Amino acid sequence: MPVTGNLAEPVRGQLDGDGRLVSADPPLLRLHLHCGGYEGGPLAVPQLSNLCRLSRQLNMNLSRPVQAADEDNLINMWVEIRLQPDDQYGNIGISIVDWKETPAPSTSSQASGRQRDFDRLNGRGSIRTDASLRIMALSMPGDLDAVEKYIGQSLLDIFDFVEPSKQSVLVESISERQPVRGQHVRQRNGKRSFYSLSGQPLIDNDGLFSGYRFALELDEEREAKENKDEASLPIKKSELISDSLFGSQLGPALRQPLGKIIANAETIGSRLEGPLRGDYSDYAKDIASAGRHLMDLVNDLSDLEAIQRTSFSVAADDIDLVDLAHRAAGLLAVKAADHQIRIDLPDKDKEMPIKGEFRRVLQVLVNLIGNAIRYSPDGSVIKLQVVSEGEFSAITVRDQGDGIAEDDQQRIFEKFERLGRSGDGGSGLGLFISRRLANAMDGSLTVESAVGKGSTFKLSLPSRAA
Amino acid sequence: MDQNTGVGLVQQAAAISGSSAAVSDDLAAALFPKSDIILSDRMLSNGRQYLQSIVQDIETEICMIAVEDFGLTHDTIIEIGNSDRGHSFPLLQNAGLLETKTLLDHIFISVQRVELGARLLQKISQADLEAVLTRYLDNEDAAIADAAMASLVAQSRDNASPGSIHAHIASLPAEILFALVWPIVAAVQKLSGYDGPGLKKAAEKLLGRHDESAGTQSRARRLAQLVDQLAEDENHLHPLYDGLDLFLARLAKRSGLSVDQLILFTAEPNMVRLVLTMRAVDLPTDHAISIFGVLDGSGQLLTPASYNEIDGEKAAEMVSKWAGNKLFQDAQRQLNAGLAGFSD
């Protein structure tokens, strides 16, 4: 059944005298690109290109059926090649009057003989060993890497025996130079496929035992059963977010375009490329701001995913809280200056050695100082202080903002909790992530606040000897 | 015997002495045919008639274009343009310019097509045959309706004189017309003694305005391409249902063979390759037997047992081989010609 109907209008294209596709309707252009062509390049659909060449050679118009294919469909076309005799550039017109796409035939309907070939290709192999069962030659066509990996290794090192077969049975058979039949094994590494292993002892010309020749047959039933068993295992809640869904796939994919948007918007907004109407410059700044917000959100979501993994762990670096406070403040200096906010930092000479992951502690501090800037009035002061409390060392970040009501003080550490605020660039994830990070480093993150009296966030981490 | 007759006889004798040297070639071709296809006198006569009519049509057309469009005033060219008989044919024949394989293959196929058409008309009337195509005219797919209409028009034009072998330039494949036009231009130049550019320009114009899509077979191919995708037509692949051209075009599309190959198969003993092709595309037994009965001209029968015992996979394999590159197949055949036991 055709998946797309007949197009009412012919699909048209034009070739110049050198065979380049100078214009084409979208379906033709798509096919051309799919066949490896590029815009304005030589027509890359071989069947069409041949027809055009024949037309030019005979100097005659042609009307013929053409079949082409893309990844999913067979495309049946009725093509009319029209020479343009009055055209001094030797252009050729292509008019495709019937463009019919049908799904490409399924490969599952291959002849059984052909299927057997594929089965052999995927499933069957052979192994030749020496007298000590070291692999001398092997053919496992479904696993091209196998040759490189397995030659020279002992057969017993590359396979695990699976029920009901036992390695001892095989070893016994081999020690008695007996044929081995139908042993169930599984590749120890790589594809971890299941095989049925059968072998015959080899006797050389002098009548001496020289090794074994094994045949390997893919054990599809076992494979299917095993896969089913694995699929039916309950998924742990923490594994619902894939190890790499956001952090290593979506995150980077989003960060790159966002980065470009922000950079371009900032360039426009700062009028680096020349004069611009004031309101346009403001729009660009809004775009950059929104982009940064999205970028923060992407980063937060990546972190959220990371910290919710059961396998999440942090390093225990030897770091200094004072040094990190200065670094975090430095990162936010511009933002603070925008609001005429001063960040009061502990003396640089003072040291507060702790155990924790450098990157994660810095992240927590940036979050705390960033929040303080966001919720403090312009012209105010944010004060950072370090205190040693025996086994723990702490840094506090105090702002002069509106403060947080006591009832809300625990809620702010919950996921996506914004206390009713919106439009300030926060995602509601920062404090949640920060507290989880602090906990992961065997520390804590707490808040003390009263409405109208500002807030003090305290990050405590295990001390270490200086 | 007057003097003129004497001159005529002398010329005749000279000509015959030249041609008689080739009698052994003719005898060899008749005594030791290289193909299994038996060429009947009717086919030979039809073939000659077909070729003569094409050559005449083309030379007339070229001369007419030369006179009307390029203002040639040469008497011989004007005469050829208005003539109702061929002039360049004997010249081309004697020079061996009509013996190219492509051209001869085309003539054979055209003649066999007429033969098949005649066989079909013994089973169904022309009116009924035309009526079967009209069912596509109301198809909801505008392209099919359009192609069916174009096909009907072409068929009506071809059937203006039923049973006639007369060729239409419009129905010629581009390569055949191209291969004929230039030798004919050379022959007309030689006959007329005219060596200006007018004839060549006329030939170029004739080639330039040739519209392949106007040909009956071409239109049938287009319709076949469209209707073969209709699921409801799955089991109706039959010459009595589709007419000869559409049937052949559909079978060709489904098997991957060309229409010309299928026509050649129908001329072979017992149409064995056609039967294999039908098996390869999984035509139901009763269908295949019926098609065989309609197309066969030698009173042979295809039995269900013999059709069913053909291994479908093997048939598909052979058909796929026949559908491959023709040059490769020809070369392979020639290389194996002297070796016993090698065949398709």
Fold of the domain spanning A11-105 = Beta-Lactamase (3.30.450)
Tokens 């197309």 correspond to: B295
* SS3 state at A342: strand
Q: Do A59 and B316 touch (CB under 8 A)?
A: no
Q: Do B218 and A5 touch (CB under 8 A)?
A: no
* SS3 state at A271: coil
**pLDDT category, A384, cuts 50, 70, 90?**
very high
Enumerate the β-bridge partners of residue B94.
none
pLDDT (0 to 100) of residue A275: 67
What are B's interface residues with A at a Cβ cutoff of 8 A? 141-144, 147, 174-175, 177-178, 204, 207-213, 218, 221-222, 225-226, 229, 231, 253, 313, 316
**pLDDT category, A159, cuts 50, 70, 90?**
confident
**pLDDT tens by residue, A18-67:** 888 988 888 898 888 888 888 888 998 988 999 999 998 888 889 888 88
Q: Which residues of B touch A2 (CB under 8 A)?
A: 229
Closest chain A C-alpha to B26 CA, distance in angstroms: 34
Q: Do B212 and A62 touch (CB under 8 A)?
A: yes
Q: Which residues of A touch B174 (CB under 8 A)?
A: 54-55, 58, 60-62
- Given a cut of 60, is residue A346 above it in pLDDT? yes
**pLDDT category, A2, cuts 50, 70, 90?**
very low
pLDDT (0 to 100) of residue A94: 92
**pLDDT category, A109, cuts 50, 70, 90?**
very low
pLDDT (0 to 100) of residue B275: 94
Contacts made by residues B323-331, CB under 8 angstroms, sequence distance 24+: B323/B255, B323/B256, B323/B257, B323/B261
Enumerate the β-bridge partners of residue A200.
A213
Q: Do B221 and A65 touch (CB under 8 A)?
A: yes
pLDDT (0 to 100) of residue B24: 85
Instruction: List Cβ neighbours of A226 (8 Å cut-off, separation of 6 or more).
Output: A194
Q: Which residue has the higher pLDDT, B146 or A308?
A: B146
Q: Give the pLDDT mean for A276-291.
A: 77
Q: Which residues of A touch B319 (CB under 8 A)?
A: none
Cα A427 versus chain centre, distance: 23
* SS3 state at A136: strand
pLDDT (0 to 100) of residue A115: 44
pLDDT (0 to 100) of residue B139: 79
**pLDDT category, B170, cuts 50, 70, 90?**
confident
DSSP A317-335: EEEEHHHHHHHHHHHTHHH
Closest chain B C-alpha to A170 CA, distance in angstroms: 43
Name the residue among B174, B211, B222 with its Cβ closest to that of A65.
B222
Name the residue among B207, B218, B221 with its Cβ closest to that of A60.
B207
Fold of the domain spanning A317-462 = Heat Shock Protein 90 (3.30.565)
- Given a cut of 80, is residue B131 above it in pLDDT? no
- Given a cut of 70, is residue A111 above it in pLDDT? no
* SS3 state at A32: helix
- Given a cut of 70, is residue A427 above it in pLDDT? no
Closest chain B C-alpha to A2 CA, distance in angstroms: 7
Question: Highest-confidence range of A252-256, A263-267, A354-358, B258-262, by mean pLDDT?
Answer: B258-262
- Given a cut of 60, is residue B163 above it in pLDDT? no
Q: Which residue has the higher pLDDT, B254 or A163?
A: B254
Residue boundaries of the structural domains of chain B:
39-214, 256-324
- Given a cut of 60, is residue A113 above it in pLDDT? no
Q: Do A62 and B142 touch (CB under 8 A)?
A: no
pLDDT (0 to 100) of residue A124: 65
**pLDDT category, A7, cuts 50, 70, 90?**
very low
Check if the beta carbon of residue B227 is closer than 8 Å to that of residue B233. yes
Query: Taking the CA of residue A269 as centre, how many other CA atoms within 13 Å lie in the half-sphere pointing to its CB?
Result: 16
**pLDDT category, B6, cuts 50, 70, 90?**
low
Backbone angles phi, psi at B225, to 5 degrees: -60, -35
State ipTM: 0.77
pLDDT (0 to 100) of residue B107: 93
Among chain B residues, CA nearest to A1: B229
pLDDT (0 to 100) of residue B340: 47
* SS3 state at A52: helix
Q: Give the pLDDT mean for A348-372.
A: 87
- Given a cut of 60, is residue A390 above it in pLDDT? yes
Q: What HEC string does B198-240 produce? A: HHHHHHHHHHHHCCHHHCHHHHHHHHHHHHCCCHHHCCCCCHH
DSSP A240-270: SS-TTSIIIIIHHHHHHHHHHHHHHHHHHHT
Min mean pLDDT across A248-262, A403-417, B7-21 is at A248-262
Q: Give the pLDDT mean for A416-439.
A: 75
Q: Do A6 and B225 touch (CB under 8 A)?
A: no
Q: Which residues of B touch A100 (CB under 8 A)?
A: 143, 225-226, 229
- Given a cut of 50, is residue A110 above it in pLDDT? no
**CA B74 to CA B65: how far, in whole Å?**
13
Average pLDDT taken over every residue of chain A: 78
What are A's interface residues with B at a Cβ cutoff of 8 A? 1-2, 5-6, 8, 54-55, 58-65, 76, 78, 80, 83, 85, 97-98, 100, 102, 111, 113
**pLDDT tens by residue, B53-66:** 999 999 999 999 99
Q: Which residues of A touch B225 (CB under 8 A)?
A: 65, 76, 78, 98, 100
Buried b (16+ CB within 10 A) or exposed e, A131-147: eebebeebebebbeebe
Q: Which residue has the higher pLDDT, A394 or A426?
A: A394
Min mean pLDDT across A224-228, A333-337, B15-19 is at A224-228
**pLDDT tens by residue, A347-356:** 888 888 998 8
Tell me the residue type at B248. Answer: L
Backbone angles phi, psi at A219, to 5 degrees: -90, 85
- Given a cut of 90, is residue B200 above it in pLDDT? yes
Name the residue among A59, A76, A78 with its Cβ closest to that of B208.
A59
pLDDT (0 to 100) of residue A148: 66
Class of domain A112-228: alpha beta
pLDDT (0 to 100) of residue A360: 84
Q: Give the A:B interface size as CB pairs under 8 Å.
A: 68
